Each structure stands twice: as structure tokens, then as C-alpha cells.
A and B are shown apart, each in its own frame.
Chain A
Amino acid sequence: MKTIRKQRLFLIIAMVAAIMGAVAFALNAFNENLMYFYSVTETVNGKAPEQQAFRLGGMVVKGSVKRPGEGLTVFFDLTDYQSSVTVNYTGILPDLFREGQGIISTGRLNEKGVFIADEVLAKHDENYMPPEVAESLKTAKSQAD
């Protein structure tokens, strides 16, 4: 390779590397702001903002979904398998909302430590399978237990 071409190749590699480095530092500095939600443990330990609304993510505890009365109000517990928090929401839940499923909810904590949600979004996981496979996995798991 001729020297001038080598020089240009080196300059381009240096440029891309420098930009990658700069962006890596910037993203590292803004890491917390890039997190879309707080976990349940962070919320319970008081790491989440107290005065303003924030997003809380976790799994809906099995058997915890309760609907007092006829309306759209629903209570359920969220967990990250370490701690749990009760969520109160009034509104339409997304299709994928169900017990044992991950969700992300926007709202704020009240004085009693109950999370008053304005919005509930379902978080889908990366698993795709036909219902029969899911069923057989479930039976295999219950037999193992």
C-alpha cells in the first residue's frame, strides 16, 4: 500500500476510534439518565425520586391482582424477587399484562409506600414459542418441582 493511502487509512481508524471513545465517556456519564425505569429494590431503598413521577419496572406477583369494585381500578404487587411494592392503577391494561409478566409503570409513591400509577406498560420478554411448547415446558417445570 502506498504511504498516502496508509496515512488515510490510519486517519480514518483514528477518527472512528476517537469518536467511539468520546461517546463511550459521555454515555457512561449519563448512564443513570439512560435507564428507562427504576427497579423495585431501588424504589424501596429510596433511590427513586420522592417528589416527582418516575418509572418503576418489575414482575407482577402471581395471585396479587385484585379488583375492588366494578370499575377499572386494580391493585397488584410488583417484585424483582428481592423486595416488593403495591401498585394502584385505574385504567385499561395492555394485552400482555398478566400475573408473572414484567411491566413498567409510571407514577409516584404515596405516604403509605403504595405506588399510584398513571400508566402501565407491559414489557415483553425475548421468548417466542407455540402454546403447546409453552404448555409442555410448564408441565415439565411443575414435575421437576
Chain B
Amino acid sequence: MNPVMKWIHLLGSPPYFYRFSGKLLPWLSVLCIILFVWGLYGGLVQAPADYQQSDAFRIIYVHVPSAWMSLFVYVTMAVAGAIGIIWHVKMAEIVCVTSAPIGAVFTFLALLTGSIWGKPMWGTWWVWDARLTSELILLFLYFGVMALYRAIEDKRMAARAVAILALVGLVNIPIIHYSVEWWSTLHQGPTVTKFDKPSMDASMLIPLLVMALAFQLYYCIVLLLRMRTELVNRERNSKWVNDLVSP
């Protein structure tokens, strides 16, 4: 076995993962805070006002990263669920079930900030166009995953059921992304995530990408924290957890 595969196998062992993530977390947190400060300062202070929306466009620095993350977390959840089903990797099951509430928060944030922006700009809080509706369905999918996991007593069974639900809902992801291109919607088309050059000035785009990276790291941190809690809870009767509590 090559060293990388060996290390991935090692990460699958709960005590090793617990120790490793504990060492990684402070570094990730520092990096995440630096990126947030940079991104927020760049977006809210340095970036120029938009030619049409003036300062109101700045909500993009929260709205767009949350919307991207809402999709990214869902794909992560579904892929981890599939790995859990196929190879019975316990750690992948845990990634799947602990990602759901984080993704739900990102989705909620995207819907909320979009709504706050929509009222003055479009003239309405909410419309039932393809983009907004499919994003709302994503929020309900996350709620479904969270509820299903709690409804089943046996946690390994629950993780498998949740993975199937997550994989079924995966169909919604391309629908959300392409909704603005396939159908006429009130929501505008993509600015950054397309094959063309981004339709955004570089002075505004760079803080947005920094914020996207900060959100990504934030997800990693919260995911690791939630995974550690879930691990300790599941293995509370094992020796390594007892050693951890009473050395």
C-alpha cells in the first residue's frame, strides 16, 4: 500500500482521527479568521460601490459564498454517504450525517440574504421562480436528512438510510445551478461560475473569492468539531474515549 492510502486508512481509525483533528483545528481557525477579516474588509470597505446598486450590492459577499457552500456541502454529504454504503467506512457515514445541519444553515443564510436584497432591488421579498424554489427544496432536503437520522434508533442503519435520501436529492444540485439558464427566472444568471470571464470587476471579485475560501474553511472547522462530538458520543463505551476522559 502506498503511504497516502495508508494515511487515509489511518484517518479512518477514531482515536487517530480525534488526535489529528485536534492538532489541525487551531491552525484552520487562525487561517479562517485571517481570511474572514481580509474578505470582509476588502468587500465592505475597499471594494468600490456598484454602478447600479451602489452599496446594496455588498450583500453578495455573504449571499454568494453561502449559496455556493449550500451546494458544495450537499455534494460532500451525498458522496460521503455513497462511500459509507459501498465500503462501510464509519468516518464517511459520520461526515454525511454531521454535514446536514451545516448545509442547512448555509442554505438558510443564502435564502435570507437574497430575500433582504430582493426587497429593495427587485421590489419583492420572494417569488416562485425556478432558482428560488429549487434552493428552498434544498433546504427541505437538508431538513429531511436531519429528521430521518434522528428518527432511526440504530445509528449505522440511520446513516445508511440518510445516505440514500441524500443521493436521491442529488438530482436537485444541477437543477439549482442551471435553473437560471434553462428557464426564464427573476434571479440573474451566473456572474462567476461560468466558462466565460466573470462579469465582475476584479476589485469586487477578489474579496468575493477570499470570502468563498473563508466560508469553505469555516465549513471544515465546524465539520471537524461536529465529527469529533459524534465520534465520542458513538464510542463512549470504548477504551480510547475513557482514556481521553480520565487519563
With A12-B82, A131-B49 as known contacts, state yes or no: A37 contacts B201, CB within 8 Å: no
Chain A residues within 8 Å of B85, by CB: 8, 12
Cβ distance B197 to chain A, nearest Cβ, rounded Å: 11
Asked if A111 CB lies within 8 Å of chain B CBs, one says: no
Out of B170, B182, B189, B199, name the residue touching A16 (CB < 8 Å): B170
Which residues of A, 45-59, contact B by the 8 Å Cβ criterion? Answer: 57
Asked if B157 CB lies within 8 Å of chain A CBs, one says: no
Out of B123, B167, B184, B191, name the residue touching A15 (CB < 8 Å): B167
- State whether A121 touches B201 (Cβ < 8 A): no
- State whether B203 touches A130 (Cβ < 8 A): yes
Tell me the bound Cα distance from A6 to B158 in angstroms. 22
- State whether B124 touches A37 (Cβ < 8 A): no
Chain B residues within 8 Å of A39, by CB: 184
With A34-B183, A131-B48 as known contacts, state yes or no: A126 contacts B191, CB within 8 Å: yes
What is the number of contacts between chain A and chain B, taking CB atoms within 8 Å?
119
Please tell me which stretch of B51-59, B99-107, B209-217 contacts chain A, meaning at least 4 of its Cβ atoms lie within 8 angstroms of it.
B51-59
Asked if B175 CB lies within 8 Å of chain A CBs, one says: yes
Chain A residues within 8 Å of B122, by CB: 94, 96, 121-124
- State whether A96 touches B201 (Cβ < 8 A): no
Tell me the bound Cα distance from A36 to B122 in angstroms. 14
Which residues of B, 5-63, contact A by the 8 Å Cβ criterion? Answer: 48-53, 56-57, 60
Tell me the bound Cα distance from A50 to B121 in angstroms. 29
Which residues of B, 100-138, contact A by the 8 Å Cβ criterion? Answer: 120-124, 127-130
Tell me the bound Cα distance from A70 to B168 in angstroms. 56
Chain B residues within 8 Å of A132, by CB: 48
Residues of chain B touching chain A, judged by Cβ–Cβ distance below 8 Å, are 48-53, 56-57, 60, 82, 85-87, 120-124, 127-130, 164, 167-168, 170-171, 175, 182-186, 188-191, 199-201, 203-204
Residues of chain A touching chain B, judged by Cβ–Cβ distance below 8 Å, are 5, 8-9, 12, 15-16, 19-20, 23, 27, 31, 34-37, 39, 57, 92-97, 101, 104, 119-135
5 A-B pairs in the complex with CB atoms less than 8 angstroms apart: A5-B86, A36-B184, A94-B121, A124-B121, A132-B48
Q: With A12-B167, A36-B186, A126-B188 given, can you name 19 additional A-B contacts, CB distance below 8 Å? A: A8-B85, A19-B168, A27-B182, A31-B183, A36-B183, A57-B184, A94-B121, A95-B56, A96-B52, A121-B186, A122-B123, A123-B186, A124-B53, A124-B122, A126-B189, A127-B191, A129-B50, A130-B201, A131-B50
